[in-house]
Every structure is written in C-alpha cells, then in structure tokens.
Amino acid sequence: MSEDIEKTVYRHDDSDLPPHISNVKRFWLQLCQNPLAFWGLILLGLFFLTAISGTILTHGDNPIMDPEQVRLVDTLKSPLSKANIELLTPKERPLFDIYFLGTDKLGRDVLSRALQGAHVSLLVGFISVGISVLLGIILGALAGYYGNYVDSIIMRAVDIMLCFPSFFLILTIIALLPASIWNIMIVIGLTSWPGIARFVRAEFLSLRKQDFVTAAEALGLSKFRIMFVHMVPNAIAPVLVSATIGVASAILTESGLSFLGFGVPPPDASWGNILADGKEFIFDAPWLFIVSGTAILVTVLAFNLFGEGLRDALNPKLREL
C-alpha cells in the first residue's frame, strides 16, 4: 500500500511542471489571438510567394514573362485585354496572349513588371533592414553595456543621425552615387540604424541590472559572451518589431525614390517607377497607378499589422502563462 503511494507520489513529481509548450507554439498561439496580425501574416506569406514566383518568372535571358519587352502596337492596353497576336513576334507575345493587368505607355506587360517590382521591394526591405539591424544591435549593445564614454559617443552619433531629415539625406547620397539597387539598399540601411540602436541600448540598460547578467559575470564569462549570448537575445523583441515596421518603411522609401527617378534604374521595374510612369496617364490608364499603389499599400499594411501582432506576442507582460 505505502509503496504504491510512494510510486504515485514520485510519478506526480515528474509531471509537476505544466505541460511543455515550445516557444514557437506559444508564440503562434499568441499571434493567432490577434486577428489583424494573423491576416497580416497571411498577406505577408502571399507577398513572399509573389516575390519569389515573380523572380522565377521574370529572371533569366529568356524569361517566361518578360517585364522589359516593349510592344509599340499594344500601348496602354486595359487589363484583361487580348494581345495583338498578328502583329507580335512569338518572342513578344505575353503569357496566354492576355495582358492580365494591362500594359504601359511602351506596351510592357504591367503584371510582369509588378512581379519584378515585388522582388525589388522584398530585396530592398530585407537587406536594408538587415544592415540597419546589425549596426543598431552592435552599437546599441556597446553603448548600453559599457555606458560612460562609449555610450556618450555612440548616442551623440545617433542624435546627429536623427537630426537629418533622412529622406533628403538619402536623396543627396543617391544623387552622388551611381544609380543601382544595391546602393539604395546600403544607403537606406546606413541611415536607419539609430532607432534600433536606441531600442537595444534601452533594453541593455535594464538588462544590465538583472541578476542573470550579474550571475554570468560571477561565473567568469567573457564580456563578449555576456553581451551577445546572454543579453542580445533578451533585447531582440522590440528590435524585431521595429525591424518589421522598418521593412515597410524601407519599401516606402524605395518606392518614393523610384517615383522621383532616383531609385531603381530603368529598364528594371519597381513599384515606385511603375507609379511614376502611371502619373502621366492617371485618367487614361488608371490601372498603372492602381496596381502599383495597391501593391505598396497592401504590403506596407501587412508588415505593419504583423509588427503590431509581433509586439503583443513577444511582450511577456501580456502573456497569460
């Protein structure tokens, strides 16, 4: 009898912990509770799919859909109109002989241009934000961990960066550099790190006082390890949120630059320059600005919604468990 009890007692001990939920699952549950964030995520998924399939369809020497193909016989065709098969060479004919989203003033297929633009936007968004996040984390971590002079120097640099209206700073730099999509990404990346550095520094200042950091110090771990293995993963949540929203703003910046003619050099398409092309024919060919405008709007909205949802899901204060 008593043996039986002992066994049960022991077994109960082992299951003392609440059921194991992996961090990923917890995160997912939290995200799903916010319908806007959930739909943001779905839209983002669609955006990724479009961008990736767009890359496959529009890249290479002989692409399935050629965004650069000029067809002077089929200029400013409205969406879903049939291609002028008799006058086009086989190479010039669009996929299925239909312009799903119409053509522009040079007879280029808007669908394939929008697809190529999605790829550009994705690239710009992620690479420029990647650069700014990397810089922001390193500089913010150094400032927050060491304090004193290191902190003063880095934070004054941040203040200086924030003094400039960043869009005009970018415009100036772009005007001086050769036009290329890579230069745009680097310049956007190099001008948008101060916000992230501030976030990381603030997190580090509060983490610095936490006992687990003192414990790591007491264990004789190196400063580098304490900073980047122990503290950065704990400071990453607000960075992720602002990075997500940062992607949206990078996409907007790129569109703005392209619209002004400083962005992606022609003949490559980006949503910004499709929009710029469309402004001359705003009444004659409204699909030009509707397609690119909607694409920008939906993508930016999706990133922002997802960022909001991420903020809730990553905030331990809002956690139930």
Partner 1 sequence: MINKNNPVLEIKDLKTYFRTTLGEIKAVDGVSFTVSSGKTLGIIGESGCGKTVTSLSIMQLIKSPPGRIAGGEILLNGKNLIGLPERELQKIRGNTLGMIFQEPMTSLNPVFTIGDQIMETLITHRKMNRSEAKAIVLELLSKVGIPSPQIRINEYPHQMSGGMKQRVMIGMAIACNPKVLIADEPTTALDVTMQAQIINLLYTLQNEMGMSIVLITHDLGVIAETAHDVAVMYASKIVEYASVEDLFQKPLHPYTQGLFESLPALGNRDMKLRAIHGQVPNPLCYPSGCKFWPRCPHAEKKCREKEPRLEKISGRLIYCWKVAEEKSALYGPLFCEKSNKKDKEMNSDSSFHKELLQVKNLSKFFPVKGGFFSRAVGFVKAVDGISFTIKTGQTLGLVGESGCGKTTVGRTILRLMEPTQGEVFFEGLPIFSLKPKLLRKMRQRMQIVFQDPYSSLNPRMRVGEIVGEALSNHGLARGREVRELVENLFTKVGLSPSYFDRYPHEFSGGQRQRIGIARALALNPQFIVCDEVVSALDVSIQAQILNLLEKLQNENNLSYLFIAHNLAIIEYISHAIAVMYLGQIVEQLPAKNLVKNALHPYTKALLSSNPVHNPSQRGRSAPLAGDVPSAINLPSGCRFHPRCPIASKICSQEAPNLKKVEDNHWVRCCLVQ
Between 159 and 217, whose beta carbon lies closer to partner 1?
217
Q: Which two three-digit tokens encode residue 118?
A: 């999605």
- Residue 152 is a binding residue for partner 1 (CB under 8 A): no
Stretch that binds partner 1, among 7-15, 54-62, 150-158, 162-170 (CB under 8 A): 7-15
Q: Which two three-digit tokens encode residue 256?
A: 């703005």
- Residue 20 is a binding residue for partner 1 (CB under 8 A): yes
| Residues whose CB is less than 8 angstroms from the CB of residue 292 and which lie 6 or more positions away in sequence, other chains included | 114, 117, 271, 272, 274, 275, 278
- Unique residue bearing structure tokens 């024919």: 281
Between 19 and 178, whose beta carbon lies closer to partner 1?
19
Residue ranges in 212-231 that form contacts with partner 1 under rule CB under 8 A: 212, 214-222, 225, 230
Q: Which two three-digit tokens encode residue 12?
A: 């109960």
- To partner 1, the closest distance from the beta carbon of 144 in angstroms equals 16
- Residue 23 is a binding residue for partner 1 (CB under 8 A): yes
- To partner 1, the closest distance from the beta carbon of 84 in angstroms equals 58
Q: Which two three-digit tokens encode residue 240?
A: 């992720």
Tell which one of 3, 61, 86, 320 touches partner 1 (CB under 8 A).
Answer: 320
The answer to whether 238 and 294 are in contact (CB under 8 A) is no
Report the distance separating Cα 209 and Cα 288, nearest Å. Answer: 55
Between 146 and 167, whose beta carbon lies closer to partner 1?
146
Site string for partner 1, 33-72 (x = CB under 8 A): x---------------------------------------
B/e letters for 167-187, b = 16+ CB within 10 Å, e = fewer, are eeebbebbeeeeeebeebbbb
- Residue 175 is a binding residue for partner 1 (CB under 8 A): no
- To partner 1, the closest distance from the beta carbon of 197 in angstroms equals 21
Please name the amino acid found at residue 78: S
Q: How far is CA 222 from CA 151, 214, 225, 235, 306, in A?
A: 20, 12, 5, 19, 36
The answer to whether 137 and 201 are in contact (CB under 8 A) is no
Tell which one of 24, 175, 176, 321 touches partner 1 (CB under 8 A).
Answer: 321
Could you give the angle at which helices 110-146 and 35-58 cross, rounded to 10 degrees? 120
Please name the amino acid found at residue 315: N
Between 93 and 208, whose beta carbon lies closer to partner 1?
208
- Residue 105 is a binding residue for partner 1 (CB under 8 A): no
- To partner 1, the closest distance from the beta carbon of 35 in angstroms equals 15
Query: Would you tell me which residues interact with partner 1 (CB under 8 A)?
Result: 1, 4-5, 8-9, 12-20, 23, 29, 33, 210-212, 214-222, 225, 230, 233-234, 316, 320-321
